[in-house]
Amino acid sequence: MQIESEIARHPGGAVILDGAATSKEIRRQLKEDVSRFIAETGIRPTLAAILAGDNPASQKYVASKEKACARAGIGSRTYPFLSTASQAEVEDVLAELNSDPLVHGILIQHPLPKSMDEPAVLSQLDPNKDVDGISPVSMGRLLAGMDAFHACTPAGMMELLRRYEIPVAGKHAVVVGRSVILGKPMAILLLDANATVTICHSRTKNLAEITRQADILVAAIGKPEFFNGDMIKPGAVVLDAGYNRVEGREGDVGDVDFESAARVASAITPVPGGVGPMTIAMLLKNTFTAAKKSIP
Ligand code: NAP
């Protein structure tokens, strides 16, 4: 729960949903829990990452996950593959990791090189180790209302809503973007939290008319500053999952034009420091959960 005096606001009045501070708090608690777990069981929760290809964003992301694991006392291993590696080579290592009792979570960094069939590789991942929650089995379990790890970015957004005590039940949530890692699972999680959900995508007609009806707007399209204040209902909660590089600009840029949106919204995530840090926190949390569940 956030204490009112600690809540930062934009000059326009919107609450800034501080993912960086929230993630830090989750990871601080996790570090304590992991340390106690290791002392009691002798098991170090461990995450293995398969990183194939030379995508600089993926390399940066995996490196920051390694650092975050180390800080939380979680073990991490990275299995790098050249972009010329074959799918069979990746699948062989995945099979070893699936059966390695010292590995509790496995992350297959998206995107795999174009030469590989990503869903086919993901479908071989042991669902009990799918801490990124994006394998077909985990997605199916989510849809069926069964226990499963949830995709980390959507799970991070839901955790932010929960910690800021933002009501979801009965609200109209509009999710723009329908990717397997982001838009689709986010829509299901909101639905499970009893929101009325509309999913939009690149073929949606009159998008602004729909986004202006959203009590909760999730921007997940990968287009810098696409959503401005005119597309947002006054008082809406805006979650910006976008991370975009724009030439000539420092750092990452979200899918939402923060300045104009923050003058209309009641709460909004900044970029950076909003949704991004929550993704890593959820990955670590899931790895710890997988380690706990691995004990017979
Ligand atoms: P993606 O796989 O490229 O999917 C983009 C989605 O947006 C697609 O469903 C696409 O529609 C839709 N879209 C594209 N342009 C649109 C438009 N003009 N109007 C409406 N819908 C549009 O991207 P993603 O992997 O979901 O990532 C989305 C963004 O989130 C990116 O900026 C990415 O960097 C960021 N991201 C952040 C994190 C994090 O940790 N914070 C994690 C993952 C991704 P169609 O399906 O019709 O093509």
SS3 of residue 266 by DSSP: coil
Q: Which amino acid does the sequence have at 271?
A: V
Residues with Cβ within 6 A of ligand 1?
A: 153, 176-179, 181-183, 200-204, 207, 220-223, 241-244, 275-276, 279
- 28 CA to centre of ligand 1 in angstroms: 30
- 151 CA to centre of ligand 1 in angstroms: 14
Please determine, for residue 226, whether its predicted confidence score (pLDDT) is greater than 70. yes
- pLDDT tens profile 73-130: 999 999 999 999 999 999 999 999 999 999 999 999 999 999 999 999 999 999 999 9
- 229 CA to centre of ligand 1 in angstroms: 20
Q: What's the confidence (pLDDT) of residue 114?
A: 94
Beta bridge partners, 200, equal 176
Please determine, for residue 161, whether its predicted confidence score (pLDDT) is greater than 80. yes
pLDDT > 70 in the chain, percent? 98
Compute the Cα dihedral for 203, 197, 133, 50 and give only its sign: positive
Architecture of the domain spanning 152-277: 3-Layer(aba) Sandwich (3.40)
Q: Do 136 and 119 meet the contact criterion of CB atoms below 8 Å apart?
A: yes
Please give the number of the atom of ligand 1 that sits closest to the Cα of 203. 47
Average pLDDT, integer, range 123-141: 96
CA distance 134 to 137: 8
Which pTM does this prediction carry?
Answer: 0.96
Q: What's the confidence (pLDDT) of residue 142?
A: 97
- Ligand 1, residues 60, 118, 150, 202: which to mutate, most atoms within 8 A of Cβ? 202
Residues 6+ away with beta carbon under 8 Å from 40 = none
All CATH 3.40.50.720 domain ranges in the chain, comma separated:
152-277
Q: What's the confidence (pLDDT) of residue 211?
A: 98
Please give the number of the atom of ligand 1 that sits closest to the Cα of 226. 18
Q: What's the confidence (pLDDT) of residue 4?
A: 62
Average pLDDT, integer, range 122-139: 96
Pick the CATH number of 42-135 from 3.40.1350.10, 3.40.50.80, 3.30.565.10, 3.40.50.10860: 3.40.50.10860
Q: Do 162 and 116 meet the contact criterion of CB atoms below 8 Å apart?
A: no
Is the bond preceding residue 111 a cis peptide, omega within 30 degrees?
yes
Residues 6+ away with beta carbon under 8 Å from 119 = 136
**Mean confidence (pLDDT) of the chain:** 96
